Structure 1
């Protein structure tokens, strides 16, 4: 990969990372308090009850922040390991795919955990924000 391609690839990777971190940091500091259709983690399951809403939003914010960190590490390692054999376009495509997979994984885990609320009593203490 040419130096200019490597710089563009790293730049796009860090931009995607910073956007995701900024959005979910803001959402974790100013969460949607009540069920609504404008902001927050909105699925049928999360909007059924206020308990589901609180749990799903807190969990998803934490998972999305972790997903962003993991995405950054994997994308940078990929660039450092394969910098000579990947073109800039391939790197951007692969890192975008990794980014989307990290988001999909966080959503999948949130849905799975929210679905299990019906079956188990969950301690919400861990998920409530410090006010």
Structure 2
């Protein structure tokens, strides 16, 4: 029955394999439906290329960390003689947290890299030199307060 503890190692194994294969065989074609394929990564070819570049490293590193944590958690659960059902539930929950963390980190890095940095230029084009005029700032403050 204790052999079921092996189930706790499925998620780290999949994350490590996924990271390895994404690194070994990077996907350059967005239409292939392979690779790290999320709505954020499909926004443009630049988004896609960056996602394919960073996702393998994130999944590999978090998969390795998860593997170590799962080993430690399983040893502790064996020592305290927790039931197999509870041990599998704990292992699955820890694994899911790391899996979601891998997607969250990848998505965050993509969004961070491609965030709109032209807001200041857009305001400058829209309002011209009046942005630097104190009366303009006062007018904006007055409108916000009203």
* TM exceeding 0.5: yes
CA RMSD of aligned residues (A): 2.1
Q: 2:51 aligns with which of 28, 39, 56?
A: 56
- Between 111-120 and 88-97, the greater mean CA deviation after superposition: 111-120
Structure with more helix by fraction = 2
Tell me which residue corresponds to 2:68: 73
* Alignment counterpart, residue 112 of structure 1, candidates 103, 108, 122: 108
**Total equivalences in the alignment:** 116
C-alpha distance 118-16 of structure 1, shift in aligned 2 (>3 A):
closer
TM-score w.r.t. length of structure 1: 0.76
Greater gyration radius = 2
Question: Given that residues 13 and 72 in structure 1 are in contact (C-alpha distance below 8 angstroms), is that contact kept between their aligned partners in structure 2?
Answer: no
Q: How many angstroms apart in 2 are the aligned matches of 1:105 and 1:14?
A: 17
Q: Do residues 35 (structure 1) and 30 (structure 2) align? A: yes
